[in-house]
Structure 1
Amino acid sequence: MSTIKRRNRVVQPVRVSPVEEARTQGRKAGYLGGYEEGYLKGRADYIFKTHSATFPFRPLHILYVASGKGFPYSPIDEAISSTLQGLVAQLTVIEPGQLTSEAVYQVMPDLVLVLDGMFVPNSQLDIIRQQGFKTAVWLTDDPYYTDMTMGNVSHYDYVFTLESECIPIYQQLGCPRVYHLPFAAYPGHFKPIGMPSVQRREVSFIGSAYWNRIDFLNPIMDRLMQHNTIINGIWWDRLPSYAAYEDRIEVNKWMEPEQTAEAYSASKIVINLHRSHEDDSFNNNTTKIPAASPNPRTFEISACGTLQLSDNRSDLAKFYTPGREIETYSSPAELIDKIEYYLTHEKERRDIALGALERTLREHTYGHRLNQMLSVIFA
């Protein structure tokens, strides 16, 4: 019987350099991140395309008086007028300077709807109401310019305000029909955008550099900028650390709605930080009416299928459920902690972003708001 002897072969491990190991791990992380972000965009696109909301069609003629203020109010004018075209039989759009009792009498509308109303002569409104025409105003900037709006609201039959805290104030001025009606998201402007953005962001902030925003973000700016944060808006060059980050802060440029939606969609997290009602350098609110209601960006960010971190206002939970459809913070430290948390917890970030998108399309578009308004006026 023969014996076969075999030599044991020792397989030496292949040594990988630290650089190559880092590249491998980077490719794995990139693949996983791309998959998760692709899943989020795919789900958001599906939700947006399959959602359908129907509203009653009314045989009404609406005379819509635009704000007359140009950008950034003109996109709101577009959102309202475009939405109204699908809700009523006839829509006539004019500028504030064209609103006269003679012009109204010529077209015989069922309702004269004014946005903002700063440039509309109250004397003409009084004549229009005396002729029997219904009038309504949708105020755009409450409570920040109430010094002016308090002198205008009594000249309308119906007053709709973005700020719930203004309701008792206007009622005390003799307005019997005052309603809380925030702005909303216009799907023609704000929606999930799946195509790759020119400038990917982890964190975004878009808005003017009011002093309360400067004071809030300045203590955490160094940590914030470690997460590929990009800021857009006017006056940010007065930020104390602006020179250190000017390559990621775009100042003195108003972004069109489509550009803003693309930036939101290209961000993992978008910060929403409301302006202060006590800023005398910008506001005309000498009675210091507080602000409780969310700003229009709250709905626009959510419509893009992106996680929103918002400072907490008391009315916010009426529109989105914190922790499920939006996330909130109450201090700079809490904001930066939650940014770092959600950047490393992709599923939670994705679930909240998609929940916000679904809630927005279900309840917070201009179709919902204008249908609510018309239901009040033409009950």
Structure 2
Amino acid sequence: MQAKRKIYAQAARKGFAAGYGNGQRDGACDFIYKRLHPAAAFPKRNVCVLYIPQGFEAIDQGIVEALRQTVREVHVADAKHMAEQASFIRPDWMLVLNGLHVFPDDHLQQVDAVRAMGIRTAIWFADDPYVTADTVTIAPHYDVVLTHELSTVELYRGLGCAEVAYMPLAVDPNWFKPMKVESAHRSDICFIGQAFWNRVELFDAIAPYLKNRKVFIAGGLWDRLRHYKQLQKFIRMGWLPVDESIRYYNGAKIVINLHRTTERGKDNKNELNLPGRSINPRTYEIAACGTLQLTDVREDLPNYYVPGVELDTFSSPEELIMKLDYYLKHEEQRRQMAIRGLYRTLKDHTFVQRLQRVAEVLTW
């Protein structure tokens, strides 16, 4: 009986500590979110924009809402009907996201037709440098090329594109935000994304460390793992809806962010083998949920977050294990770093703020 009471008492203490820690995190995130969101309003530009989405739900939604706060008039049209809609609406600009995957075979002919109407066109590449085999064909058809990847700026200029600008992506804080979640969404360590080969190598290397912890992994191709059977209980195979991803980000103590490899022929079409110098959208999305992320290093990361202050980094499986272990044992440091990451994101990296930069580049 005494032993049972001792077990119950230990469980109660752990439960209280967890609840107290979660409460502190929720309260701090709520304070910051209410203080910084919504962002200060900007004067609207006297421009009509036709926006053509890619089908990246979280990014498209963020851009559309930001456009509505940035310009006088916004229209959204399917890529299959962009020329038809442009002819009917007669916008000042047509802004296209990415122009890949779901775009029709006559995409470029439609863009040429829109330009022939005297309508200015811009494309914002969000998949660089992984699909340069395709983007080198697409880019010259647009008046202005925006790319979220530093390494492709000179590529497009070398193709004769007259106006090329580096334009990082951002996050929609109406969607990616701190929230309370049920225990089913809670984990010590979380990773959401496709099992590209460099990610497989990393998770195979850290599998012995993960096996005795509460882990959540979601995405396709994870059966590539050598240690798949060891990690299978943690893995949810297939695409995870965005709203579910947000809940899992919120419920995790630490989220791992590992950019996909840029090596030619390994799960990409980076024919020129260009390096990855810029951070992915997931960097902003994890931070916007008020959760600590450990990310691999990209060259421009320090321009957007301060490593060791607003998030932390790793450069090897051994360093990742060391930092996972450290932050799981040091809750206050983990929580404070995550809160600073949230603050930086809401202050500098929302789509409303990013569209101000787009507007300046496109002289709206």
- Normalised by the shorter chain, which TM-score bucket? over 0.9
Pairing 1:114–2:96 present: yes
Question: 1:373 — aligned with what?
Answer: 358
Among 51, 69, 80, the residue aligned to 1:64: 51
1:368 and 1:344 map into 2 onto residues whose CA distance is 36
Q: What percent of counterpart residues are identical? A: 39
Among 126, 134, 138, the residue aligned to 2:124: 138
Shift in Å at residue 28 of structure 1?
A: 2.2
Describe the SS at the equivalent of 2:137. Answer: coil
Among 186, 197, 221, the residue aligned to 2:207: 221
Question: 1:90 — aligned with what?
Answer: 73
Tell whether the 8 Å contact from 2:211 to 2:230 is kept in structure 1 after alignment.
no
Tell whether the 8 Å contact from 1:269 to 1:306 is kept in structure 2 after alignment.
yes
Describe the SS at the equivalent of 1:150. Answer: helix
Change (3 A) 1:279 1:229: farther
Tell whether the 8 Å contact from 1:190 to 1:257 is kept in structure 2 after alignment.
no
Q: Which amino acid aligns with 1:81?
A: V
Shift in Å at residue 245 of structure 1?
A: 2.8
Matching of residues 265-344 of structure 1 within 5 Å: 265-344=250-329
Superposed CA offset, 1:33-76 (max 9, x none): 32122101111122112213122312221011122xx4xx2332
Question: 1:260 — aligned with what?
Answer: 245
Among 88, 112, 116, the residue aligned to 1:126: 112
1:196 and 1:144 map into 2 onto residues whose CA distance is 36
2:194 and 2:29 map into 1 onto residues whose CA distance is 28
1:230 and 1:34 map into 2 onto residues whose CA distance is 20
Shift in Å at residue 312 of structure 1?
A: 0.9
After superposition, the CA RMSD in angstroms is 1.7
Residue range with higher mean Cα deviation, 33-42 or 238-247: 238-247
Tell whether the 8 Å contact from 1:211 to 1:279 is kept in structure 2 after alignment.
no
Pairing 1:174–2:165 present: no
Question: 1:24 — aligned with what?
Answer: 9
2:46 and 2:183 map into 1 onto residues whose CA distance is 43
Matching of residues 191-206 of structure 1 within 5 Å: 191-206=177-192
2:184 and 2:128 map into 1 onto residues whose CA distance is 35
Change (3 A) 1:272 1:130: same
2:331 and 2:193 map into 1 onto residues whose CA distance is 26
2:231 and 2:85 map into 1 onto residues whose CA distance is 53
Change (3 A) 1:162 1:197: farther
TM-score (ref. length: structure 1): 0.90
Among 212, 233, 238, the residue aligned to 2:198: 212
Superposed CA offset, 1:106-125 (max 9, x none): 31211110111233632332
More helix by share: 2
Shift in Å at residue 17 of structure 1?
A: 4.4
Tell whether the 8 Å contact from 2:264 to 2:273 is kept in structure 1 after alignment.
no
Aligned length: 358
Superposed CA offset, 1:216-238 (max 9, x none): 12021121232211111111122
Matching of residues 235-250 of structure 1 within 5 Å: 235-250=221-236
2:338 and 2:31 map into 1 onto residues whose CA distance is 14
Matching of residues 154-165 of structure 1 within 5 Å: 154-165=140-151
Tell whether the 8 Å contact from 1:197 to 1:262 is kept in structure 2 after alignment.
no
Tell whether the 8 Å contact from 2:185 to 2:252 is kept in structure 1 after alignment.
no
Residue range with higher mean Cα deviation, 80-89 or 20-29: 20-29
Describe the SS at the equivalent of 1:240. Answer: coil
1:151 and 1:165 map into 2 onto residues whose CA distance is 17
1:197 and 1:304 map into 2 onto residues whose CA distance is 17
1:336 and 1:224 map into 2 onto residues whose CA distance is 9
For structure 1, which runs of at least 5 residues remain unmatched after alignment? 1-15
Q: Which amino acid aligns with 1:85?
A: R
Question: 2:86 — aligned with what?
Answer: 104
Question: 1:11 — aligned with what?
Answer: none
2:160 and 2:231 map into 1 onto residues whose CA distance is 51
Describe the SS at the equivalent of 2:10. Answer: helix
Tell whether the 8 Å contact from 2:253 to 2:292 is kept in structure 1 after alignment.
yes
For structure 2, which runs of at least 5 residues remain unmatched after alignment? none
1:272 and 1:334 map into 2 onto residues whose CA distance is 14
Tell whether the 8 Å contact from 1:56 to 1:371 is kept in structure 2 after alignment.
no
1:297 and 1:175 map into 2 onto residues whose CA distance is 29
Superposed CA offset, 1:161-208 (max 9, x none): 110111111111112321111221111220001243423201100000
Q: Which amino acid aligns with 2:50?
A: L
Residue range with higher mean Cα deviation, 82-91 or 350-359: 82-91
1:192 and 1:77 map into 2 onto residues whose CA distance is 20
Shift in Å at residue 281 of structure 1?
A: 4.1
Superposed CA offset, 1:16-43 (max 9, x none): 9455434433322331232122101111
Describe the SS at the equivalent of 2:307. Answer: coil
Shift in Å at residue 105 of structure 1?
A: 3.1
